[in-house]
Structure 1
Amino acid sequence: MNVPFEITSGPGQSYLMRNVSDQTVDLVTVTVDHPEGLTRDLPSEDTFGPGASKKFLVLATWQTGRPVEVLVSWDVHPTPYALPLPPKN
């Protein structure tokens, strides 16, 4: 499958999701099996033009740890696809 996104590690507890394709991708939604109060700015039915990116946060605590993946769906692929979250140092 040709997945049009990559996720890279950002500063602190942030991540950057980028459209690596040459096409606009609509209805991009990211979900994660993590407490809702520990996430910020997850894409929800967003549009990503070619090369566009969005920063989001997945906060780790001593009790919750950090998830290893997020689920991404978009207009032509409504079934969520698992994308790994890069490790944090």
Structure 2
Amino acid sequence: MNYSECRHSCCDGWPIRISMKEYYRLLGEGCSPKLRTRLDCALKLSSSPCFNTYTYAQIATDWQGICMLHQPDGLCALQSELG
């Protein structure tokens, strides 16, 4: 199946918030150098991180509002590599 033919993206138009625990887990995750570069560019701390909620950080979007981890095939680079 070619997922790029799907008309919908689960993250399209939604802010992808990350808790502090998830943020630090992703920073320490063993992954390919290509994904590490994408993660380092995509993970952004919230302007006022709250340690008790899921708004410590978020995955940034490009100038068109597209998630920086969204691949040309329509899949998430993070999900594709790490599940």
| TM-score normalized with structure 1 length | 0.30
Greater share of helix: 2
Q: Which has the higher contact order (CA 8 A, sep 6+)?
A: 2
